[in-house]
Amino acid sequence: MKALYAEQFAPQDPLAGLCFGDRPEPSRSEGHEIVRVVAASLNRHDLWTLAGVTMVPFDPPVTLGCDGAGIDQNGRAVTIFPVLGHGPKFQMLTDGVDGTLAALVKVPVANVVRKPEGLSFEEAACLGTTWLTAWSALVGRARLQDGERVLVQGVSGGLSNAVIALARALGAHVTATSRTEQGHILGLKLGANEVVAPGTPLADPVDVVIDSVGAKTWGHSLQSLAFGGRAVCLGATSGRIGETHLRTIFANELEIYGHKMGTEEEFRALCDFVEWRDLHPFIGAHVDGLEAGQELFRRYARDEIAGKAVVRVDPALAPRRTADAQM
Ligand SMILES: NC(=O)c1ccc[n+]([C@@H]2O[C@H](COP(=O)([O-])OP(=O)(O)OC[C@H]3O[C@@H](n4cnc5c(N)ncnc54)[C@H](OP(=O)(O)O)[C@@H]3O)[C@@H](O)[C@H]2O)c1
């Protein structure tokens, strides 16, 4: 079957190892489901995989794609929970296990979840990594309450998009930061109450900060918190070493958390929530067919795409949505 896969790890030039070609079809086995993939989305995790930075050691080739949606063996429309295993040793689809950027993907039965009504396959293919992490960070880790104030660092990334949309739907007042005019427009479209430039001092301190940007924003994140505020660190796109004023932490009795992904129960709760609140992941770019996914990867790696980047693996079953991609 056709797939987009990492043929080799290339730390200096990750896309050098990206291939479109034939991979073995998965075989049926007890406790597993084979899903016919309709749409799959890209994540930074795929770029890390191509660079050889993986959660467990393994040798390529491996099919890329953590997130996807499609049709299961019983003909049900489903979306995929991408976490395999539990606790500190969990791994993701693509960590030595073939992922969703293929005609078929094989996952444990528990990882197959009914596609939320009202979401297209493309949209449902965006929930697995960024939306799950955003949900788990806000609800599970930061214990966000209705009416609290939230600061989200960044707008254009798929994770920031999800945090903004979910925090607003959970009843929070949301301030987001973005470096670009396009990011300011998108942030407001996603529901943020205000969008400011990174590092802008906030008139009102916030209860919760969600930071996946890292080095460039971490100092501002801590400075923006109210007494007893909670900061959740989810990533380090701009660098791994951030400014930390210790006095700010103890004087304001801050809680600081690191967080990764989420549980199967949280994924199911997220799917129910997006269905109930009629939320839709923002798709910034999409292409038809796996072969075209190679160019999508190049644009994604050059940071040219705001929002999620989606491959319609089976374009006939993933009807075109034009409104999102015009941003
Ligand atoms: N912990 C987990 O389980 C988990 C799950 C998913 C992702 N992640 C991580 O979270 C991070 C974000 O992922 P993503 O998918 O949203 O994609 P991304 O492309 O890494 O997102 C970039 C985001 O960072 C902002 N940004 C980038 N450079 C910046 C800078 N120098 N100063 C200020 N803001 C900057 C951008 O905002 P503007 O362009 O609007 O300024 C954008 O929102 C990645 O590092 C990823 O590995 C972690």
Q: What is the DSSP string of 72-114?
A: -TTS-EEEE--EES-GGG-EETTSSS--SSBSEEEEEGGGEEE
Classify domain 2-126+281-326 by CATH architecture. Alpha-Beta Complex (3.90)
Ligand 1 geometric centre to CA of 234 (Å): 9
Provide the pLDDT for residue 144.
Answer: 98
Measured at the CA of 68, the angle between CA 64 and CA 70, to 5 degrees, comes to 125
Provide the pLDDT for residue 318.
Answer: 82
Provide the pLDDT for residue 323.
Answer: 43
Q: Which atom of ligand 1 is nearest to the CA of 176?
A: 40
pLDDT at 89 > cutoff 90: no
Mean pLDDT of 48-71: 96
CATH number of 130-258: 3.90.180.10
Ligand 1 geometric centre to CA of 75 (Å): 35
Ligand 1 geometric centre to CA of 211 (Å): 8
- Please provide the average confidence, as pLDDT, over all residues in the chain: 95
Mean pLDDT of 55-70: 96
To the nearest whole percent, how much of the chain has pLDDT over 70? Answer: 97
Where are the alpha helices (H) located in the chain, listed in sequence order?
A: 44-51, 121-124, 132-135, 158-169, 181-190, 218-223, 246-251, 264-277, 293-301
Residue 24's identity, in one-letter code, is P
Note the pLDDT tens digit of each residue in 5-25. Answer: 999 999 999 999 999 999 999
Which of the listed residues 83, 159, 188 should we mutate to test ligand 1's pocket, taking the one with most ligand atoms within 8 A of CB?
A: 159
Half-sphere exposure of residue 323: CA atoms within 13 angstroms, side-chain side? 6
- Provide the residue ranges of all domains of the chain, joining segments of one domain with +: 2-126+281-326, 130-258
Quickly state the pLDDT bin for 322 (edges 50, 70, 90): very low
Note the pLDDT tens digit of each residue in 287-309. Answer: 999 999 999 999 999 999 999 99
What is the rounded distance in angstroms from the CA atom of residue 178 to the CA atom of residue 56? Answer: 33
CB 180 within 8 A of CB 201: no
Note the pLDDT tens digit of each residue in 120-148. Answer: 999 999 999 999 999 999 999 999 999 99
Provide the pLDDT for residue 320.
Answer: 57
Residues with CB under 6 A from ligand 1: 43-44, 129-130, 133, 154-160, 178-180, 183, 198, 212-213, 216-217, 234-238, 259-261
Which of the listed residues 44, 155, 224 should we mutate to test ligand 1's pocket, taking the one with most ligand atoms within 8 A of CB?
A: 44
**The two domains 2-126+281-326 and 130-258 share their CATH topology (first three levels equal):** yes
- DSSP annotation of 14 reads G
Ligand 1 geometric centre to CA of 153 (Å): 8
- DSSP annotation of 324 reads G
- DSSP annotation of 67 reads E
Q: Which atom of ligand 1 is nearest to the CA of 259?
A: 1
